[in-house]
A and B are shown apart, each in its own frame.
Chain A
Amino acid sequence: MKPSNRRRMLALSALIMSAVFANVATAQSKETLKFGLAMPLSGSQALYGADQVKAAQWAVADINAKGGVNGKQLEMIVVDTQADPQLGINAVKRLTSVDNVPVLITAWSSVVKAVAPIANRDKVLELSVGANSPDIAKLGDYVYTTFPLAEVDVSALSKHTYTTLGKKTAAVLYINNDSGVEGAAIYKGVFEKAGGKVVAYEAYDSKATEFTGALLKVKASNPDIIHIQGLVADLPQVIAQMRQLGLQQRVSTYSAGYNPKVIEQLGAAAEGLIVTSLAPGVSDNPNVEPFINRWKESEKRVPNGLPYTQYLYDGPYLVAELYKWIEKNKLPATGENLRKALITVKNFELPLTGGLSVGEDHRVNKPVYLLTVDKGQFVPLATIK
């Protein structure tokens, strides 16, 4: 090669090399720590899903504002599931094969179950945050919940009702879908084991708007307390009709009832209602009040399903911790390694929900907070560890 050509060649290759290095360098600084969030952004559950997504987005912004994880920014990719299993599968497939996330957060029991096979096959860590079906613990190696499953709060409530509140007989009304059936069975089992008697055990159809028959059977059994395992949509109607039919007993339900809308729709009929919450309240955790105030300032209201938004706020923090472990041990960001991080670190301290201990059985245990409606407001009743 002629000397001038060679020089030109060298110059050109230097130019190319520098361009490549520059790209690599910028790519590295642009490198983000990705994770997915599959939530109902539309559909009948959207009002909860949207708020939960917002909480998670705030968390990501907060974490990144403080420098992210070792200087790298967290990137959250949000997809819509409409709380529907089929759409959930489509959405999560996009996350795993198009966006290539190694870890994702999702909720709503039917979606969690439907996408579990994908997580297990593609070795992507699936964090279920908010769904409470007991089956979730058995969905496979890559599915973990950070939210206590149904047996935790329903059991605690049931036991407390018998031992502390002193109710000897209970009636159980439940909606005829998986969460209703499973939750009701747990309540009954624990109540009877503690020594109580379940005198009525009635189901109502998920599409029903009229519950007279079941309610009259409950009335005839004369229970000390009535436990309803329903959804937030039907709960007010059941209680309304209950009161109108002359059932004056105290009513208890699980976390679905912890919603200001219930009080709004029922007015005085809501007095005395006992609900569970699996997230600490204002008096239990100092971070909660600023969180609520932040909602009031930016959205001019309280969040729908406050405890769930607390868990979703902590979700990105948990993911950040997992990434931190990976970075520390210089491992590639794969689902397999993130899972290893989860079970190795095991104990986490999260801002809005406190301590989290991930069990080998894929379950978590948390204190259960009982609240009751007093003069139109939810006030704490008891805390059960």
Chain B
Amino acid sequence: MIDLSILLQIVWTGLAASSYAILFAVAFALVVKVVKVWNFAQAGVMALSFYVMYAAHNKFAIPLLASVGIGLAATISANIFMDRYGLQTLRNRNSPSLTFFIFTLVVSEFLAYLLAMIFGTEPVALKPSIMSGVNIVYGVVISNWDIEAVCVTIGLLLVLYLFMYKTRDGQFMAAVADNPELSRFYGINVTRAYVITFVIAGVLVTAGMYLFGTKASIIPNTPLQMMLFAVIATLLGGMGRIFAAALAAITLSLIQGLSIFVIPSEWQGLILYVFLFITILFFPQGVSLQKFKQLMAPLTINKPLHKKGI
């Protein structure tokens, strides 16, 4: 009953539009994996990234690509600064997870307020016009923005994959993710691993904000609202599996888009929360085939349930 071209259209546009969400989810998941922190400060850094690019391009008339470069530099610096002076201090004190949460959330709020003070709260986009050229391929509308978004995302994910699996630094990061103490014991520079993680996160975030900012307009608070999606994707993917998080992000996006055929449009916003609950309750380690089978078997739960932190 569903027209094929409509299905294809929703799939394509949904995929393209989920590009920035994927980048944000992977950035978030990477930090969770290596640094072991649920980095809600990412929202504030996302806002910072956008506004630096916006200011450079719109207030100082710097060409777009260069503005993105400046934004990138600002984002990475902010990340590293936050890790070095913020997270490290808390790590040294063995602070409980609540403290980390408060810190990262407050950093995001601080940045949001600061940006509101400087730039006001009028919705702004990176470019004055949000329309982009359109091409029609086999009845499916493909806009130039779509193409750019998909290419950028695939490109970055590919580079990330190669980095994580083919370079020494990438492997060190995986080791640190597994066991920081042991890694240090073996001479791996844990701090360097953290720094590289935040650099990569900075790149993903800046790319994501560039894509988002050329499609829609934002206010300083917008990134905080986008964090929920990144969190759920990370959870679904499972701790320590960033490409699973990317897959989860794509799946969530598609489900949200396709749900319009099944549920009334007003309730679409609730889907994310439903997923969050199901994930936490039944798949706290992330979705995997093994876990699914486990759940389907008679419910004899004899797992160690008390975990302090992660």
Is the interface on chain A under 10, 10 to 19, 20 to 34, or 35 or more residues?
35 or more
| Residue in A42, A202, A219, A243 whose CB lies within 8 Å of B131 | A243
Count chain B CB atoms within 10 A of each CB in A213, A220, A266 and give the residue with the most: A213
Question: Given A210-B13, A267-B129, are A220 and B6 neighbors across the interface (CB < 8 Å)?
Answer: yes
Residues on the B chain within 8 Å of A265, using CB: 125, 128-131
Question: Given A209-B17, A265-B128, are A43 and B143 neighbors across the interface (CB < 8 Å)?
Answer: no
B216 touches A237 (CB 8 A): yes
Within B119-141, the residues touching A (CB, 8 Å) are 120-123, 125, 128-132, 134, 136, 141
Asked if B215 is at the interface of the complex by the 8 Å CB criterion, the answer is yes
Asked if A246 is at the interface of the complex by the 8 Å CB criterion, the answer is yes
B265 touches A213 (CB 8 A): yes
Within B1-43, the residues touching A (CB, 8 Å) are 3, 6, 9-10, 13-14, 17
A43 touches B121 (CB 8 A): yes
Chain A nearest CB, measured from B241 CB (Å): 26
Cβ-closest chain B residue relative to A217: B260
Residues on the A chain within 8 Å of B225, using CB: 207
Within A353-369, the residues touching B (CB, 8 Å) are none
Asked if B264 is at the interface of the complex by the 8 Å CB criterion, the answer is yes
| Residue in A47, A220, A244 whose CB lies within 8 Å of B3 | A220
Within A185-233, the residues touching B (CB, 8 Å) are 202-205, 207-210, 212-214, 216-217, 219-220, 233
A216 touches B10 (CB 8 A): yes
Residues on the B chain within 8 Å of A333, using CB: none
Residues on the A chain within 8 Å of B260, using CB: 202, 213-214, 216-217
A264 touches B216 (CB 8 A): no
Cβ-closest chain B residue relative to A201: B265
Asked if A176 is at the interface of the complex by the 8 Å CB criterion, the answer is yes
B6 touches A216 (CB 8 A): yes
Task: Count how many chain B residues have C-beta atoms less than 8 Å from C-beta atoms of the other chain.
Answer: 39
Q: CA separation between A181 and B121, bound complex, in Å?
A: 25
A47 touches B13 (CB 8 A): no
Question: Given A44-B219, A214-B260, A216-B6, are A240 and B17 neighbors across the interface (CB < 8 Å)?
Answer: no
Asked if B217 is at the interface of the complex by the 8 Å CB criterion, the answer is yes
Q: CA separation between A204 and B212, bound complex, in Å?
A: 19
Chain A nearest CB, measured from B279 CB (Å): 20
Residues on the B chain within 8 Å of A244, using CB: 131-132, 134, 141, 143
A44 touches B10 (CB 8 A): no
| Residue in A212, A220, A237, A268 whose CB lies within 8 Å of B257 | A212
A246 touches B131 (CB 8 A): no
Q: Mark A236-276, 1 if CB is under 8 A from B, else 0.
A: 11001001111000000000000000001111110000000
Chain B nearest CB, measured from A232 CB (Å): 8
Residues on the B chain within 8 Å of A210, using CB: 13-14, 17, 257
Residues on the B chain within 8 Å of A217, using CB: 260, 265
Residues on the A chain within 8 Å of B261, using CB: 213
Cβ-closest chain B residue relative to A206: B269
Cβ-closest chain B residue relative to A264: B128
Q: CA separation between A264 and B217, bound complex, in Å?
A: 13
Chain B nearest CB, measured from A195 CB (Å): 26
Asked if A46 is at the interface of the complex by the 8 Å CB criterion, the answer is yes
B131 touches A240 (CB 8 A): yes
Asked if B73 is at the interface of the complex by the 8 Å CB criterion, the answer is no
A202 touches B257 (CB 8 A): no
Q: CA separation between A173 and B186, bound complex, in Å?
A: 60
Asked if B150 is at the interface of the complex by the 8 Å CB criterion, the answer is no
B131 touches A269 (CB 8 A): yes
Q: CA separation between A267 and B129, bound complex, in Å?
A: 7
Cβ-closest chain A residue relative to B14: A212
Q: Mark B206-226, 1 if CB is under 8 A from A, else 0.
A: 000000100111010100010
Q: CA separation between A254 and B6, bound complex, in Å?
A: 29
Chain B nearest CB, measured from A339 CB (Å): 35
Residues on the B chain within 8 Å of A213, using CB: 10, 257-261, 265, 268
A245 touches B141 (CB 8 A): yes
Q: CA separation between A236 and B269, bound complex, in Å?
A: 21
| Residue in A44, A209, A214, A219 whose CB lies within 8 Å of B216 | A209
Q: CA separation between A216 and B140, bound complex, in Å?
A: 12
Chain B nearest CB, measured from A199 CB (Å): 15
Cβ-closest chain A residue relative to B228: A207
Chain A nearest CB, measured from B249 CB (Å): 14
| Residue in A44, A202, A207, A266 whose CB lies within 8 Å of B123 | A44
A46 touches B258 (CB 8 A): no
Chain A nearest CB, measured from B5 CB (Å): 9
* Top-4 shortest CB links A-B: A213-B260, A210-B17, A212-B13, A203-B266
Taking beta carbons and an 8 Å cutoff, which residues of B are in contact with A? Answer: 3, 6, 9-10, 13-14, 17, 116, 120-123, 125, 128-132, 134, 136, 141, 143, 212, 215-217, 219, 221, 225, 257-261, 264-266, 268-269
Additional A-B contacts beyond A237-B216, A244-B141 (18; CB < 8 A): A44-B121, A44-B221, A47-B122, A176-B266, A176-B269, A203-B264, A205-B269, A207-B225, A209-B212, A210-B13, A212-B10, A212-B13, A213-B265, A220-B6, A237-B130, A237-B215, A245-B141, A268-B131
21 A-B contact pairs sorted by A residue (CB < 8 Å)? A44-B219, A46-B122, A207-B225, A207-B269, A209-B17, A212-B10, A213-B261, A213-B268, A220-B3, A233-B123, A236-B130, A237-B130, A237-B217, A240-B130, A244-B143, A245-B9, A245-B141, A264-B128, A264-B129, A266-B129, A266-B130
Taking beta carbons and an 8 Å cutoff, which residues of A are in contact with B? Answer: 42-44, 46-47, 176, 202-205, 207-210, 212-214, 216-217, 219-220, 233, 236-237, 240, 243-246, 264-269
